[in-house]
Amino acid sequence: MGVLRVLAAQDVTDELFAAVERLLPQLSSSARLPTRAELGQIVLSPATTLLVAREDEAVPANGDGGEQGWASGDDVASGSIVGMLTLVTFRIPTGVRAWIEDVVVDAAFRRRGVGEALTQAALEVASARGARTADLTSRPKRENANRLYERMGFELRDTNVYRYQLGS
């Protein structure tokens, strides 16, 4: 694998739209793919940050040595999108909340640190926005993901998660 870079999507390009169409079915077989306009709402919303992981062969234009980690969009050479994560941050009366959602790494790139790099970048963004904690959910059957989150310091919460089905 080449140099791994994580960056926030700034606009909906053909490449980003195609990557979402390729990655989302690997996360959920029942999820409806977002339209280009819906993806634009995600990218442009101040409450959501769509982080993408790229495998870059080139050294970043800023001359950085190319270690895995967070980088802004302008100083990263172009490469294939191999994973994505959505970070949701919002203010409520008790403080700033951060939720990590829809983490997916292309099957061909799993177990190579992509999920960890995406999650670490999300934690850094959440912290910079004033969140004191970050929450996520993960199905028990996703054993590798659960081990990753525990290794990164996430703790299993003693709470109930409820869902109310709205509309059809």
| CATH number, residue 64 | 3.40.630.30
* Domain assignment present for 167: no
CB burial of residue 16 (10 Å; 0-12, 13-18, 19+): buried
How far is 118 from 9, CA to CA, in rounded Å?
13
Task: Give a yes or no: residue 146 inside a domain.
Answer: no
Domain that holds residue 119: 3-135
What pTM value is reported for the model?
0.85
pLDDT at 75: 38
Q: State phi, psi for 14 to the nearest 5 degrees.
A: -60, -40
What domain count does the chain have? 1
Does 105 reside within a domain?
Answer: yes
If phi over 0 gives left and psi between -120 and 50 gives alpha, with beta otherwise, what is residue 130? left
Q: Does any domain span residue 154? A: no
Distance between CA atoms of residues 145 and 158, nearest Å? 19
Quick one: pLDDT at residue 167?
Answer: 86
Closest of 28, 1, 153, 143 to residue 86, by C-alpha: 28
Tens of each residue's pLDDT in the chain, 168 residues: 578 999 999 999 999 999 999 999 999 999 999 999 999 999 999 999 999 999 876 544 444 433 344 444 443 335 799 999 999 999 999 999 999 999 999 999 999 999 999 999 999 999 999 999 999 999 999 999 999 999 999 999 999 989 999 986
Would you tell me the crossing angle of helices 14-27 and 36-44 to the nearest 10 degrees? 100
